[in-house]
Amino acid sequence: MEHLEMVSEVKHQRIKANGIWIHVAEKGTGPLVLLLHGFPELWYAWRHQINYLAQHGYHAVAPDLRGYGDSDSPIDPSSYTFHHVVGDLIALLDHFGEQQAFVVGSDWGANIGWHLSLFRPDRVKGFVALGVPYHPRSPTTKPVEIIRNFFGDQSHVCQFQEPGRAERAFARYDYLTVMKKFILMTCKDFLASPPGMELIDFLSTPSVLPSWITEEELTFFADKFQESGFTGPLNYYRAMDLNWELLAPWQGSKITVPTKFIAGNKDMAFDFETAGTKAFVESGLFKSLVPNLEVVIIDGHHFIHQEKAQEVSDEILSFIRRFPPNASI
């Protein structure tokens, strides 16, 4: 029951930020570390890191991103662009009176962290991205079309585009099963189902839980999603092409903040031919876009901050400890 004691020490509040209410979980005092979860997660995905960072002299703050958990969930997919979510985060930093923060993001949280670093490098002391590297914006082709060309209509990104489709498919299962299908997935290919099949039907449900998570922890996620639903989280995918349009002014821009990128060697699409994370990281293009970059590959899957919690926590701490207190970049 250690994790329950851990969670009980976490302070919760809802903050009016950028016109909506954002729920944050926080613990500790010291330099601010902002922890950004992915799909389909919550602040709770960082339960191990919140505790660890607080013990080591940091103020760990993990929001439920807009659309998730106890934060507001605007209806319109166009309210889920990087501009909106980065705006939420800037408002959180202002709320806490912090000019700069360390930022850690996984999955969609990594994507958001990249764009926070792109838009407002003055507010990011250092960034740790988990699983998702910074990809250059195509000058000609929208991201959904690129993914369709590479992986077909059956990819999760394509299936998630149509409002209501994934929600209806997910609703054939109880919320705990949906959580198990995603958080415990060991799929190494890009996420796609066979033709004529919904992704959620294709994902397997493990009969035995891995040692790194309990039924109780998975139930915490399931109960929250039962309250808030999946439309907010899915709207991030539905805003992808709009993001592309809005990002045109940053065409060719680099990420200048100091960055550590951590990926699991069994993450989906890590080894995927020429389009995989491994090939991209090794190509030199990633480093050219993010000059101040360190890459760490560890043994694990997609939700590596939960699966390999201690290892990831140590990697985060070793990175942020390089920066002297109160020093701006």
**Residue 59 near residue 92, CB atoms below 8 Å:** no
Cross-strand pairs, 261: 129, 295
**Residue 262 near residue 276, CB atoms below 8 Å:** no
**Residue 167 near residue 234, CB atoms below 8 Å:** yes
Rounded to whole angstroms, the Cα distance separating 305 from 220 reads 17
Rounded to whole angstroms, the Cα distance separating 207 from 201 reads 15
Q: Which of 52, 80, 134, 237 is catalytic?
A: 237
Rounded to whole angstroms, the Cα distance separating 197 from 165 reads 12
DSSP H or E segment with residue 82:
helix 82-95
The answer to whether residue 223 is catalytic is: no
DSSP H or E segment with residue 277:
helix 277-282
Residue type, 40: P
Backbone angles phi, psi at 15, to 5 degrees: -120, 135
Rounded to whole angstroms, the Cα distance separating 250 from 55 reads 38
Reading the block at residue 53, the tokens are 């960072």
Helix intervals (H) in 205-250: 215-228, 231-238, 240-246
Cross-strand pairs, 59: 32
Q: Which of 84, 156, 302, 305 is catalytic?
A: 302
Rounded to whole angstroms, the Cα distance separating 42 from 53 reads 18
Q: Which of 70, 72, 107, 267 is catalytic?
A: 107
Rounded to whole angstroms, the Cα distance separating 143 from 54 reads 38
Give the sheet arrangement for strand 293-298, strand by strand: 11-17, 20-27, 59-63, 32-36, 101-106, 124-130, 259-264, 293-298
The answer to whether residue 107 is catalytic is: yes
Q: What angle do CA 162, 138, 75 make, to 5 degrees?
A: 30
The answer to whether residue 302 is catalytic is: yes
- Residues carrying an active site annotation: 107, 237, 302
